[in-house]
Structure 1
Amino acid sequence: MHTAEIRQRWLDFFAERGHTVVPSASLVSDDPTLMFTVAGMVPFIPYMSGLIPAPYPRATSVQKCIRTLDIEEVGKTTRHGTFFQMAGNFSFGDYFKEQAIAYAWELLTTSEADGGYGFDERDLWVTVYEDDDEAIEMWKRIAGLPDRRIQRLGKADNYWHTGQAGPGGPCSEIYFDRGPEFGAEGGPAVDDSRYLEIWNLVFMQYLLDDVKSKTDFTVVRELPKKNIDTGLGVERVAFLKQGVANMYETDQVRPVLDLAAQLSGRRYGANHDDDVRMRVVADHVRSALMLMADGVTPSNEGGGYVLRRLLRRSVRSMRLLGVDAPTFTELFPASRDAMKAAYPEVETNYDRIARLAYAEEENFLGTLASGTSILDLAVAKTKQAGTRQLPGDTAFLLHDTFGFPIDLTLEMAEEAGLTVDRSAFDSLMLEQRTKAKADAKAKKTALADLSVYSDFRAKGETVFTGYEYLQTETKVLGIIVDGKSVTRATTGQTAEVILAETSLYAESGGQEADAGTIIGKGFELEVLDVQKPVKGLISHRVVVRSGEVGVEDAATTVVDPEWRRGATQAHSATHLIHAALRQVLGPDAHQSGSYNKAGYMRLDFNWNQALSPETRSEIEEIANSAIRRNLEVETRVMTLDEAKDLGAMALFGEKYGETVRVVDIGGPWSRELCAGTHVASSSEIGLINLVSESSVGSTNRRIESLVGIDAFRDLTTERAIVSQLTTNLKTPREQLPDRIAELLASLKAAEKRIAEFESAALAQRIPQLVEAARTANGVTIVREEVGSLRSADDLRSLVTSVRGRLGSAPAVVALAAEVNGKPSVIVAVNEAARERGVKAGPLAKTAAGVLGGGGGGKDDIAQGGGTDILALSAALDAVVAGLRL
């Protein structure tokens, strides 16, 4: 049974039993405390917690999931996979424990011919929470299970909660007995390798509080509406139904594994280490493919960093298999073809995915080449020092700064006859991870407790009227101060205000929130920010400028018209630039992010090279031409499928509901899904001035533009500068570039002549300095101030030249100068002096201490500097005193 069929049978089974089929949410989680969707129930948490009323009484989904906490274990065991699919059926106050058990048993044991999974009843075991006698009775009655195949386990295994105060409850897990060749008899309580968990049924029936750990919490009371949350591991069912040993050998993963074996010339199953590497490649390529299909792009932070790590671990594993050449051009198409039956978007979006993956592989192969050079130097230095162990901090530097994997460092060090101080490396890695976890925890703690919004959201969605009106009469539904719901807020307080309706736009889709006020009888509130803390609810962060506002008060939202005008100009300009980009560069130049506010817009797009000045000008001209053509801007609300059929562009990384808003500028010329505010016609934008184009990653570029009056003001500033240049240089505007180039060439030539003169002048000073030498205890010493010099290089050249003239007897040269307004001392010591124990580094450091700064260097030559120019003579005296001759 193919994995795609397992997925479809699940959805069909529950759809036939009254469940709403909910499409998989994005791998990028909406939950602010999660980077990725890590479990099938994550998209349903707001409904289970009561934060948002459930739009249906029962639902089913097959959710795409990503977990990266155990990424180092991927391939080593059959349990760990980065990407996986979790099938779930959910009830929100509808059916409960008995029906959930009945559904599970029916689907698992119904024959394949009748639409089920066809498991033999004799191979199935269940575990229940130790005190859940009710579940045990149901398993016996519904499934006819004997006592021996029902096992009681404690909270650590059979109790579920979110880790925070809220809903939770006991769970019951279904296991498949793989047979005696996989372990000891006696059920999952004895051996959970032989007995494989395939389905978990959570009976969410209690309100929990004081949650300290998985097992330490307080049950407050039963929930008024009990929920069901179940999850079946699709990959686990797949490898059982396909008769293979693990998830890596299933139909959606095995093709990449086999191709990795073919490309490397190694056989899967012949060597444990090679098997692990092939499984890593198969898992990571599929996981990266699915992440990029959901809009994630490689970067150095957040989800982009995780994606980059997956891609690089794949490259690294292929290299450890002996393949140095690029392989993604073969591996990714294989994964695409294996996944497209279940997820057609991997084929639809493949051109974009391929461009990102191939570019990342090319860049990392270059990084590996650079890292290899650095590692070679470190190996040579280690051997020169007479040790056989590469320092841990060197391995960490290679890993952290250059992206050089530790196991590659271990392998290459071993080839050179060295070991690596792994304990020191692990200690530095632990320190880094601890800091990262602390940062993440701080960020998580900083987020508001979303439960405060549940009562307000239960009253319905906030109605946004701002598309048609700048003012709206409304009512205050709630006030939040310091994270707690209150009844009033007074002058000077900062608060969040929840309204029934609002004309103020909440920050979303790259558009900054509206500026404005909220007024009512006896109060005025200045709006600081407008956000959507939970789906469907708009919250206004305000400061009470005067009076007192209370719940149930009548109020009027007032948008700052100038701000809104500027915001609509900037957002519509973003659409024009995006359309112009695609017209000039082609459909691969796809928007990957944006930000716009009054007078300014920036747009990030997928591209891996800088735009030429000519290309930038062409994009700018096309966008401004669209403004001059006064194109009509039309907005329509329709279903997502209708919008896609119409050709509307959905942006990667954005999440859309079943109903969407389509914004047309000039009909199909620019047609995008967008909830932002826009001008009525393109001419209202006024002007777009493209001010910069830069890199924001190996596969991403950024365009920044000023819009409207801000664009005009910037151009008038440039015009004033050009006018001043034409006047000062007495040159017509069109000849300015040539005239400035001439002046720069003349300046460069003059600087060269000056440098030659100064070099000759320095050379003339060498004999005088040599003559100033004196001898103490057999060491020749030159100690002189040489005035002002243009650079430290001039001073260094002078010092080494004087040292070279002093012969082979022990000699020390210490010269001081003012370099670019700062004091500097350079000390040079010849070989004979070094043999007597005189070293330049400590002497330069001594001088720097007198100058109020720092210094040091090698034994033969070193430099010191500081801030006190008047102390140059004293610094030289300190050098001489430091000789102790």
Structure 2
Amino acid sequence: MQTHEIRRRFLDHFVKAGHVEVPSASLILDDPNLLFVNAGMVQFKPYFLGQQTPPYSCATSVQKCVRTGDIEEVGKTTRHNTFFQMAGNFSFGDYFKEGAITLAWELITKPQEEGGYGFDPERIWVTAYEQDPEAAEIWKRVAGIPDERIQFRDGKDNYWDMGVPGPGGPCSEIYYDRGPEHGKDGGPVVDEDRFLEIWNLVFMQDERGELSPKAGHPPVGELPKKNIDTGMGVERVALLLQGVENVYETDLVRPVIEKAEELTGSRYHVGNHDNDVRFRVIADHARTAAMLIADGVNPGNDGRGYVLRRLLRRIVRSARLLGATKPVMSEFMTIVCEMMAPSYPELESGFSRIERVAVGEESAFLRTLDTGSRLFETAVDDARSAGKSVLSGSEAFALHDTYGFPIDLTLEMASEAGLSVDEEGFRSLMAEQRQRAKADAHARKQAHADHTVYKELLDEHPTEFTGYTELNSEARVLGLVHAGQRVPHAAAGQEIEVILDRSPLYAESGGQLADTGHITAAGLRLAVKDVQKIGKKLWIHKAIVEEGEVTEGADVLAQVDPDWRRGATQGHSGTHLVHAALRQVLGPNAVQAGSLNKPGYLRFDFSWQGGLSDAVRREIEEVTNEAVLADFPVNTFETDLPRARSMGALALFGENYGDRVRVVEMGGPFSMELCAGTHVGSTSHVGPVSILGESSVGSGVRRVEAYVGLDSYRYLARERALLEGVATALKTSPEEVPARVEALVERLKAAEKELEKHRSAALMSSAGTLAAAAERIGGIRLVAQAAPEGVSANDLRVLAADVRGRLGSEPAVVALLSTVEGKVPFVIAANDAAQQLGVKAGDLVRAAAPAVNGRGGGKADMAQGSGTSAAGIETAPTEIRAAVAAAAR
């Protein structure tokens, strides 16, 4: 049975049982505890937490998930993936243990010809929480599973919670016996390779405190309603139903391995364990990377972007180690998207971006590998010069951590060079880094934001947003919240959260900042500083009571600051115009990656490799302003999501849209986007758009910033005044300023070049003086002095070589230091005769470096370094003299 069919049967089974089918959420959700969605229940958290009342009593979904707890271990086992699909059914106070067990048992044992999975009931084992005998009794009664195939386990294995205070409950897991060829008998407590877990049923009934029942601590109470959260591993069920050995041989994963065999010339599963791991890394990471990019993640140096970067780089290095000599990423992304698109059509529609981002990161990493190879060669030379046969763990770690050079390549290349690597030292440094990362993650982890105080208001009184058609709305105060608690009233001077039944004030979302304004009544005035949404339907007005006393139930007038709103709509509509202009000039791959707009200003992030030329930037600005001049009407309408997509409306990556969406259209096909923001009536109201600049905000993501409306006019006026001021200073017309400035720059460059010649000549003329001042340390002539301030490292090298040459053939060492803009470059040169006595420049650099708080290295004849402490220039020559004396004994 194919994986797509396994998904379909699961959803059909639960829909027929009265569940509402809910689409998979994006892998990126606004959750303080998660980088990525890692379980099917994540999008339902507000319902399980009791913060919102669910719109249905039962739901089912197949959620795309990513878990990245220890990426380095992927591929070493054959049953874990970073990306996986979790099929789940959920009950919010409807059925409980018996209902969940019955529904699961029916699906897995029902014959395939009747729509089930057809698993042999005699090979099914279950586990239950050691303090939950009720679950075991239900399994015996409903499924007829005998006592010998029911095993009890402690909280570590069979209790679930989110890792923070909140809901939790005992679990019951379903396992399938794969047979004696896969391991020992005795059930899952003995061997979880033979007895493979395919389904976990969580009976969510408890509220946990700071300490988890998983570790033996009792819950602090019971939930108001008993809920069900189950998850079936789609890939694991596919493994069993397809009769293959592991998840990497299932129908959606094995084709990636076959493509890797084709591209590398190596073969999978022919007795080479290390190569098998590399094939599995490629297959796993290629799927995960494609899904993350499809949901809007871009490679970067922290957070989600760093995870994606690591995945892509591990693919490249694994392919290289398997024998690939050419780029591979395009081929891998193609096969992944072809295989997965039937269940995730966004992979097909977004393929060009997925491929471009992945290929761009591959190209960047290949350059990193080249740089790392050169640094590796330097480390090898240093080791050989020092008579060592082992590269230190710190050198291997620096190559890995600072330059992205993978340890397995370091090991392989060191072996080819006849050296070994201090792997224990490397692993120790890696462990320290992981520990720091875990500590940082733990410090940032927090309990899920508590919105319980708003639950009653969410259930009964959602806010009606009236701001699309009016700036002033009569409203009633539904609730007041202060310091997380409902209060009946608030007096002058207090900060308060005000919930209204109707509001014209826009709540921050979609990149548009919240409106400011006032809430007034007779003798009452509140200044609204911010507006946020809870549950997408309750407006929280954060305000200061300026006059009077506000009470719950009062009738008030909510007012938007008209100047703020005018500027905000200009900024938001201007963002849509810039987006459309970018796509017109650069093509459809210029996809939105984020935005911010406020009165008079906008910034727009988009996916793109490489900077934009001045000519392209001017073209984008011109296309944008042509749309302003065209005075396109701005039309908005609501429709369902499939209809909006079929019309070509653009959606923001990572955003979860409801069944009904709002479309904002400007100029027909020129711009059409899903957007809940406020906008101008026609594009001419945006006013002039002045692009301020374009820059990088991460790998594959660029940012355009612009002024609109009056702010744009003021910016242009300042630019004009500046140009006129420069023209006056140069005694020329504004039109002639560029040519005059260019001529002045050329004259300045020529003068600097001439000055540099004189400076270099003067510096080199000091070589004779320095050589003549050489002192003797044993049988070695030594020059150890500070050069004039401002001498660069390159000039120090040239000068040191010149002085060394002037000292003739007898043993000689030259050490020169300088200061340049707070740095202390230093160079040491030793001639052949000195080296024969055991004096090596690289060793002397390391001896001198601590005096100037620096580091350095190099070869035996010439080495250099840099420090940060200029005070050490006085003591460094003394350290060098001592090191020369010790080496020459």
Q: 2:317 is aligned with what amino acid? A: R
Residue 415 of structure 1 aligns with which residue?
416
Q: Say if 2:801 and 2:829, in contact at 8 Å, map to a contact too.
A: no
- Give me the TM-score of the superposition, normalised by structure 1: 0.89
- Judging changes above 3 Å, is the alpha-carbon distance between structure 1 residues 310 and 824 closer, same or farther for their aligned structure 2 residues? closer
Q: Say if 2:293 and 2:354, in contact at 8 Å, map to a contact too.
A: yes
Q: Offset at 1:253?
A: 0.6
- Judging changes above 3 Å, is the alpha-carbon distance between structure 1 residues 360 and 550 closer, same or farther for their aligned structure 2 residues? same
- Judging changes above 3 Å, is the alpha-carbon distance between structure 1 residues 229 and 861 closer, same or farther for their aligned structure 2 residues? closer
Q: Offset at 1:414?
A: 2.5
Q: Say if 2:593 and 2:605, in contact at 8 Å, map to a contact too.
A: yes
Q: Offset at 1:803?
A: 7.2
Residue 226 of structure 2 aligns with which residue?
226
Q: Say if 2:819 and 2:870, in contact at 8 Å, map to a contact too.
A: no
Q: 2:155 is aligned with what amino acid? A: K
Residue 15 of structure 2 aligns with which residue?
15
- Judging changes above 3 Å, is the alpha-carbon distance between structure 1 residues 481 and 439 closer, same or farther for their aligned structure 2 residues? farther
Q: Say if 1:784 and 1:815, in contact at 8 Å, map to a contact too.
A: yes
Q: Which moved more, 1:354-363 or 1:748-757?
A: 748-757
Q: Distance in 1 between matches of 2:385 and 2:337?
A: 49
Q: 1:348 is aligned with what amino acid? A: S
Q: Offset at 1:828?
A: 8.0
Q: Say if 1:814 and 1:879, in contact at 8 Å, map to a contact too.
A: no
- Judging changes above 3 Å, is the alpha-carbon distance between structure 1 residues 205 and 585 closer, same or farther for their aligned structure 2 residues? same
Q: Say if 2:689 and 2:712, in contact at 8 Å, map to a contact too.
A: yes
Q: Distance in 2 between matches of 1:811 and 1:410?
A: 38
Could you give the per-residue CA deviations for residues 599-646 of structure 1, whole angstroms, max 9, x where no partner exists? 221212222132222221111111101111111111112211221122
Could you give the per-residue CA deviations for residues 300-340 of structure 1, whole angstroms, max 9, x where no partner exists? 22222212211111111111212132122322222222212
Q: Say if 1:76 and 1:276, in contact at 8 Å, map to a contact too.
A: yes
Q: Distance in 1 between matches of 2:556 and 2:64?
A: 44
- Judging changes above 3 Å, is the alpha-carbon distance between structure 1 residues 875 and 417 closer, same or farther for their aligned structure 2 residues? closer
Residue 605 of structure 2 aligns with which residue?
604
Could you give the per-residue CA deviations for residues 49-88 of structure 1, whole angstroms, max 9, x where no partner exists? 2111101111111111111113222222122111111111
Residue 94 of structure 1 aligns with which residue?
94
Q: Offset at 1:389?
A: 2.1
Q: Offset at 1:498?
A: 3.5
Residue 657 of structure 1 aligns with which residue?
658
Q: Which moved more, 1:5-14 or 1:302-311?
A: 302-311
Residue 358 of structure 2 aligns with which residue?
357
Q: Say if 2:24 and 2:63, in contact at 8 Å, map to a contact too.
A: yes
CA RMSD across the alignment: 3.8
SS in 2 for 1:680: coil
Residue 114 of structure 1 aligns with which residue?
114
- Judging changes above 3 Å, is the alpha-carbon distance between structure 1 residues 639 and 867 closer, same or farther for their aligned structure 2 residues? same
- Judging changes above 3 Å, is the alpha-carbon distance between structure 1 residues 14 and 212 closer, same or farther for their aligned structure 2 residues? closer
SS in 2 for 1:637: strand
- Judging changes above 3 Å, is the alpha-carbon distance between structure 1 residues 408 and 479 closer, same or farther for their aligned structure 2 residues? farther
- Judging changes above 3 Å, is the alpha-carbon distance between structure 1 residues 727 and 394 closer, same or farther for their aligned structure 2 residues? same
Q: Distance in 1 between matches of 2:192 and 2:209?
A: 31
Residue 536 of structure 1 aligns with which residue?
537
Residue 684 of structure 1 aligns with which residue?
685
Residue 191 of structure 1 aligns with which residue?
191
SS in 2 for 1:402: coil
Q: Distance in 1 between matches of 2:197 and 2:736?
A: 78
Q: Distance in 2 between matches of 1:322 and 1:823?
A: 44
| Unaligned segments of structure 2, at least 5 residues | none
Q: Say if 1:75 and 1:276, in contact at 8 Å, map to a contact too.
A: yes
Q: Which moved more, 1:314-323 or 1:768-777?
A: 768-777
Residue 298 of structure 2 aligns with which residue?
297
Q: Distance in 1 between matches of 2:155 and 2:866?
A: 66
Q: 1:408 is aligned with what amino acid? A: L
- Judging changes above 3 Å, is the alpha-carbon distance between structure 1 residues 365 and 759 closer, same or farther for their aligned structure 2 residues? closer
- Judging changes above 3 Å, is the alpha-carbon distance between structure 1 residues 292 and 768 closer, same or farther for their aligned structure 2 residues? closer
Residue 237 of structure 2 corresponds to residue 237 of structure 1: yes
Q: Say if 2:295 and 2:653, in contact at 8 Å, map to a contact too.
A: yes
Q: Distance in 2 between matches of 1:183 and 1:101?
A: 27
Q: 1:284 is aligned with what amino acid? A: H
SS in 1 for 2:76: coil
Q: 1:19 is aligned with what amino acid? A: H
Q: Distance in 2 between matches of 1:668 and 1:545?
A: 47
Q: Offset at 1:836?
A: 12
SS in 2 for 1:692: strand
Q: Distance in 1 between matches of 2:676 and 2:126?
A: 48
Q: Say if 1:295 and 1:652, in contact at 8 Å, map to a contact too.
A: yes
Taking the TM superposition and a 5 Å limit, the aligned residue runs for 1:559-574 are 559-574=560-575
Could you give the per-residue CA deviations for residues 727-767 of structure 1, whole angstroms, max 9, x where no partner exists? 22233333322222222222222223333344555567777
Residue 275 of structure 2 aligns with which residue?
274
- Judging changes above 3 Å, is the alpha-carbon distance between structure 1 residues 762 and 639 closer, same or farther for their aligned structure 2 residues? closer
Residue 163 of structure 2 corresponds to residue 145 of structure 1: no
Q: Say if 1:27 and 1:64, in contact at 8 Å, map to a contact too.
A: yes
Residue 246 of structure 1 aligns with which residue?
246
- Judging changes above 3 Å, is the alpha-carbon distance between structure 1 residues 300 and 555 closer, same or farther for their aligned structure 2 residues? farther
Q: Say if 2:690 and 2:708, in contact at 8 Å, map to a contact too.
A: yes
Residue 65 of structure 2 corresponds to residue 60 of structure 1: no
Q: Say if 1:826 and 1:844, in contact at 8 Å, map to a contact too.
A: no
Q: Say if 1:848 and 1:875, in contact at 8 Å, map to a contact too.
A: no
- Give me the TM-score of the superposition, normalised by structure 2: 0.89
Which structure has more relative contact order (CA 8 Å, sep 6+)? It is: 2
Q: Offset at 1:10?
A: 0.9
Could you give the per-residue CA deviations for residues 676-728 of structure 1, whole angstroms, max 9, x where no partner exists? 11111111111111121223334222211121222212211221122122222
Q: Which moved more, 1:402-411 or 1:662-671?
A: 402-411
Q: Distance in 1 between matches of 2:787 and 2:94?
A: 91
Q: Which moved more, 1:629-638 or 1:468-477?
A: 468-477
SS in 2 for 1:364: helix
- Judging changes above 3 Å, is the alpha-carbon distance between structure 1 residues 162 and 759 closer, same or farther for their aligned structure 2 residues? closer
Q: Which moved more, 1:726-735 or 1:372-381?
A: 726-735
Q: 2:297 is aligned with what amino acid? A: V
Q: Say if 2:27 and 2:654, in contact at 8 Å, map to a contact too.
A: no
Q: Offset at 1:240?
A: 0.7
Q: Offset at 1:484?
A: 4.6
Q: Offset at 1:345?
A: 2.1
- Judging changes above 3 Å, is the alpha-carbon distance between structure 1 residues 747 and 85 closer, same or farther for their aligned structure 2 residues? same
Q: Offset at 1:270?
A: 1.0
Q: Offset at 1:829?
A: 8.7
Residue 511 of structure 1 aligns with which residue?
512
Q: Distance in 2 between matches of 1:786 and 1:358?
A: 48
Q: Which moved more, 1:39-48 or 1:205-214?
A: 205-214
Taking the TM superposition and a 5 Å limit, the aligned residue runs for 1:62-461 are 62-212=62-212, 214-271=214-271, 272-445=273-446, 448-461=449-462
SS in 2 for 1:219: coil
SS in 1 for 2:62: strand
SS in 1 for 2:219: strand
Q: Distance in 1 between matches of 2:823 and 2:403?
A: 36
Q: Say if 1:803 and 1:828, in contact at 8 Å, map to a contact too.
A: no
SS in 1 for 2:204: strand
Q: Distance in 1 between matches of 2:864 and 2:144?
A: 88
Q: Distance in 2 between matches of 1:602 and 1:582?
A: 16
Q: 1:241 is aligned with what amino acid? A: L
SS in 2 for 1:657: coil
Q: Distance in 1 between matches of 2:280 and 2:820?
A: 60
Q: 2:642 is aligned with what amino acid? A: D
Q: 1:269 is aligned with what amino acid? A: H
Q: 2:298 is aligned with what amino acid? A: T
- Judging changes above 3 Å, is the alpha-carbon distance between structure 1 residues 546 and 440 closer, same or farther for their aligned structure 2 residues? farther
- Judging changes above 3 Å, is the alpha-carbon distance between structure 1 residues 752 and 541 closer, same or farther for their aligned structure 2 residues? same
Q: Distance in 1 between matches of 2:405 and 2:213?
A: 37
Q: Say if 2:124 and 2:177, in contact at 8 Å, map to a contact too.
A: yes
Could you give the per-residue CA deviations for residues 488-538 of structure 1, whole angstroms, max 9, x where no partner exists? 555555454433333322221112222334445655444443333544333
Q: Offset at 1:479?
A: 4.2
Q: Distance in 1 between matches of 2:824 and 2:183?
A: 74
- Judging changes above 3 Å, is the alpha-carbon distance between structure 1 residues 277 and 187 closer, same or farther for their aligned structure 2 residues? same
Q: Say if 1:848 and 1:866, in contact at 8 Å, map to a contact too.
A: no
Q: Say if 2:690 and 2:706, in contact at 8 Å, map to a contact too.
A: yes
SS in 1 for 2:585: helix
